[in-house]
Chain A
Amino acid sequence: MSDPDAFATLDTIQEPPGGPAAVATGAGRTLAGDAWETLRSSWVFWSSCTLIVILVVMAAFPGLFTHVDPASCQAARARISPSAHAWFGYDVQGCDVYARTIYGARASMVVGLIATLTAMIIGSAVGVYAGFFGGVVDALLSRLTDIFFAIPLLLGSIIILTSIPTPAGSAFFSILKVSAALAVLGWTSTARVARSSVIQVKQADFVSASRALGASRTWMIRKHILPNAAAPIIVITTISLGSYIGAEATLSYLGIGLQPPVISWGIAINDAAAYVRSTPHMLFFPALFLSLTVLAFISLGDVVREALDPKAM
């Protein structure tokens, strides 16, 4: 399947000579450079990046988007439909849906970030060790990965989250608990990807050369293995950031994820689900923001993967 490369050459030919693309096709052509050339011209890449930047700003400074306090709720205006005064209407408690949707970005982002980073660290450590050392270490670590891999994410997190009691009113602990549950069950896919790409890199000539020159194992892993095996790990991390945000919302929707002092899209959807027939707006807006967030991260991971490896799905 060499067609994407063929398309890429066509594109570079159409560029005026001496442009940045022509430089990239020269002798100093790298995988990252190639990928950047592909990404630069992709509208999916730019729109998901824009969306992610907006969401990050929203999570960091929700006050920029709304002056309404998400905690000021009046039962008198419960379930009022969207109007010019409140764009997204009011929810069951009479809180402003727009304000709560804006403030909900933070919980999703924080859970996604903590879970992804933890899963990435555990997963790449296990994967790199298993792949690099091989033999008994590999066999043991791979079986350990298999054991965790066999437990479905949702099922496992339900078991973990219902087993650990949450002290009421502690937003921080609630967020930490959900992130930990997702990371404990989610690291396996990173480990598998890291392991297979390390095994691929390990066989390269420059690694043998480095070993022949007397390089230590830590040096080889740090200088040769990690940089060359990083691309697939980065891709799967981006994609899993999206799916962890979705998983958090699913758990919160089931009522066992984040707990009420936290403002979250999943909780909002859970509260609205019972009224979906009469006032669907309460469910529609948080669901829309949630889906767009997940979509942004997954499409970003998707285009980056395509740019790095045109052969993959």
Chain B
Amino acid sequence: MARYVARRILQMLPVIIGTTFLIFLMVWALPGDPFAGRCGQRPCSDAYIQAETARLHLDQSLPVQYGYFLGNMLQGDFGTVSNGDTVLHQLGRAFPITLKLTTVAIGFEIVLGIGIGIIAALRRGRFFDRLTLLTSLVAISFPVFVIGFVLQYIFGVRLGLFRVTVQSGAPWQDLIMPGFVLASLSLAFVLRLTRASLLETLNADHVRTAVAKGLPRSLVIRRHIVRNSLIPVVTYIGADVGVLLGGAIVTEGIFNIQGVGGLLYHATKLRENATVVSVATVVVLIVLFVNLLIDLFYAVLDPRIRYE
């Protein structure tokens, strides 16, 4: 197990370096003046440009710049925004809110996705099954901002069941609707995955044996079918945790949530390149790290998997 973990981490290193370098390249190397729009409607003063160029090592070659950036990140210095606030501080404020939103969204995925998926599989080919398959296809197809606006309009504006936008501090009850909107796409995938996986297990030999020896139906479903089918579903949900923790730019924008996604969105709009690179890097690291954890967790779920 320890050897496997070590190997996976070694495999991950080039990907981390490559990905961060790619993001760095996209932000700094693409044509475009890094000072455009930084000083309002007029061009920046020479003194400011010189000071910033020296601070960000813009006069050096790109690999050298990347080296400085990587070194700073390793020391916990994620850069400074032009108003003097550190990126780390901004992330510290935004991350707990995104964490809350992710918790709500994953809750929906587990309860509704797995629940409806199981019911659909057990009633395969009947009306309920067809209806859920069709609904999930619609959820996959409709862009998240369409779903967001429609639900916001119906439940927030028309029916008044939920607050239209989230208050500062993001109390849990305000996050129910944004969480559902955020979860909608993955919910559909979880549902379909659960259904497909369950259908596969339904035909397995051990299930036939369990039925043949006279076990009650509910027991067969609970112990022999559902438990054996959930491995791919758990893997998917785990990967989704990584993605959702990376912030939901659109959903956070619609419901005015001050999370990681909102931070990133405002930073790109203001051309706060330091923030963009740092936040994007942190997001990618979170995704990769969570994926590693899932791979390891896999072994706990399915004892047949050996890591040698």
Chain A residues close to B by CB (< 8 Å): 1-3, 143-144, 146-148, 150-152, 154-156, 158-160, 162-165, 242, 246, 249-250, 253-256, 269, 273, 276-277, 280, 283, 287, 290-291, 294-295, 298-299, 302, 312-313
Contact = CB atoms under 8 A, between A and B. Distances in A.
Given A1-B199, A1-B203, A164-B32, A280 B15 contact: no
A229 B134 CA distance: 29
Contacts of B199: 1, 3
Contacts of A156: 23, 26
Q: Is the interface of A mostly helix, strand, loop or mixed?
A: helix
From A143, A163, A276, A295, name the one whose CB has the most chain B CB atoms within 10 angstroms. A163
Given A147-B14, A242-B141, 13 more contacts: A144-B18, A147-B19, A152-B287, A158-B249, A160-B26, A163-B26, A164-B30, A246-B143, A253-B143, A254-B265, A287-B150, A290-B146, A299-B137
B152 interface: yes
B284 A302 contact: no
B22 A148 contact: yes
A313 B192 contact: yes
A250 B250 contact: yes
Contacts of A299: 137, 141
Interface in B18-73: 18-19, 22-23, 26-27, 30-33, 36
B4 interface: no
A294 B142 CA distance: 7
Q: Is the interface of B mostly helix, strand, loop or mixed?
A: helix
A313 B203 CA distance: 15
Contacts of A144: 18
B29 to A, nearest CB: 8
Interface in B112-150: 137-138, 140-146, 149-150
A311 to B, nearest CB: 8
B22 to A, nearest CB: 6
Contacts of B264: 155, 158
B288 interface: yes
B259 interface: no
A302 B141 CA distance: 11
B172 interface: no
A155 B283 contact: yes
B191 to A, nearest CB: 10
B297 interface: no
A302 to B, nearest CB: 7
Contacts of B243: 152
B195 to A, nearest CB: 8
A281 B146 CA distance: 13
Nearest to A273: B149
Nearest to B31: A164
B79 interface: no
A295 B249 contact: no
A249 B33 CA distance: 27
Interface in B255-290: 264-265, 268-269, 271, 276, 280, 283-284, 287-288
A252 to B, nearest CB: 10
A162 B271 contact: yes
B77 interface: no
